[in-house]
């Protein structure tokens, strides 16, 4: 059996066995590079897709967060509007001193501020938005309670207003009855007062001439008259109570002027018509109810008496209760 062995020769021919090995190495290297390239491209494509998914997810999350914020803002605006309407409708109520209402106002204002702070945060987390939603729900509860309290206060105010009106009506009725009673009493007192006014009658007015020896002589000659003696009767009056009564004596001289000398006790008084009048002398009378009394007094002036009529008027309780006249004559040759 013969064998054939292929040995390289020394004659300079190219070995035929070495070329297939180089070609296989290149092929393998090329394949590796192609696989690596394909792998790189695949990674790039996968990474790009992953990034796109992440961006899309972030965008979705932002959109969702923005939408949730918008919803929360709307809910907050609705709650705020209801709250403002309640406050406006109750603005005429004087409940500022009510501690419960004041406390509720502060709680609502604090929650509104905190919710608005969260919604204004561009990087608010889901947990913070959830907190804001929870606070809005609590805020709505607070506003509902606030409305209930306001309505309760309004109801109480209505009841108090009605009670006040009833009390006012009762007061007005009592006042009206009181005024009527006062008017009746006043009219009765006025009637009694008028009825109790005294009346003077039977006037006696004489001129008195005083002699050096102390004796007195009646005269009608003006130049001889030193004083006037005035007397009159006070008629009985069963209404006038007993006690001291002030009588104002007003004397008018013949020339029509009132005789009034302040140094001799003259002064002024008011009549029932409201007229201010001069009086010559005030006489105090100790009057006894139901009795007839005589009053007498003298008037002596610091000047000469004139010729003519002297009118004497008596006033009491603002009314003129009587009058008399004395005429003084001019003296004759032998008077």
Residue-wise pLDDT for 99-152, tens only, equals 667 777 778 888 888 888 888 887 778 788 888 888 888 888 888 887 787 778
Residue 335, pLDDT > 60, answer no
- Joined tokens for residue 13: 């021919």
Task: Indicate the burial class of 196 (C-beta count within 10 angstroms; 0-12, 13-18, 19 or more).
Answer: middle
Give me 51's structure tokens. 């990034």
Provide the pLDDT confidence category of residue 278 given band limits of 50, 70 and 90: very high
| Reported pTM | 0.50
Q: Is 119:135 a contact under the CB 8 Å cutoff?
A: no
Max Cα-Cα span within the chain: 231
pLDDT band at 97 (very low <50, low <70, confident <90, very high): very low
Tokens of 33: 């590079």
pLDDT at res. 277:
95
Higher local confidence (pLDDT), 20 or 266: 266
Task: Enumerate domains of the chain plus CATH numbers.
Answer: 21-160 (no CATH), 200-328 (2.60.40.1930)
């Amino acid at each position: 059996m013969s064998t054939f062995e292929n040995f390289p020769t020394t004659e300079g021919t190219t070995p035929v066995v070495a070329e297939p090995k180089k070609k296989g190495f290149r092929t393998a290297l090329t394949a590796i590079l192609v696989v690596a390239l394909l792998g790189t491209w695949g990674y790039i494509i996968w990474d790009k897709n992953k990034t796109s998914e992440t961006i899309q997810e972030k965008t979705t999350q932002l959109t969702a967060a923005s939408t949730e914020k918008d919803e929360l803002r709307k809910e907050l605006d609705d709650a705020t509007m209801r709250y403002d309407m309640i406050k406006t409708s109750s603005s005429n109520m004087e409940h500022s001193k009510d501690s419960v209402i004041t406390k509720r106002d502060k709680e609502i204002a604090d929650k509104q501020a905190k919710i608005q702070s969260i919604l204004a945060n561009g990087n608010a987390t889901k947990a913070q938005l959830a907190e804001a939603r929870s606070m809005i729900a609590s805020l709505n509860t607070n506003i509902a309670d606030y409305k209930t309290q306001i309505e309760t206060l309004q109801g109480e105010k209505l009841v108090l207003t009605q009670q006040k009106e009833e009390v006012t009506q009762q007061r007005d009725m009592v006042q009206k009855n009181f005024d009527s009673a006062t008017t009746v009493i006043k009219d009765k007192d006025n009637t009694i007062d008028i009825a109790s006014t005294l009346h003077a009658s039977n006037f006696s007015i004489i001129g008195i001439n005083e002699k050096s020896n102390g004796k007195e002589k009646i005269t009608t000659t003006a130049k001889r008259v030193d004083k006037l003696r005035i007397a009159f009767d006070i008629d009985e009056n069963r209404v006038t109570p007993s006690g001291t009564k002030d009588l104002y004596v007003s004397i008018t001289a013949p020339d029509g002027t009132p005789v009034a000398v302040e140094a001799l006790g003259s002064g002024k008084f008011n009549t029932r018509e409201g007229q201010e009048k001069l009086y010559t002398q005030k006489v105090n009378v100790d009057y006894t109810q139901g009795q007839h009394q005589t009053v007498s007094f003298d008037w002596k002036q610091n000047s000469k008496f004139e010729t003519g009529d002297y009118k004497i008027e008596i006033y009491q309780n603002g009314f003129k209760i009587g009058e008399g006249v004395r005429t003084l004559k001019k003296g004759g040759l032998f008077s």
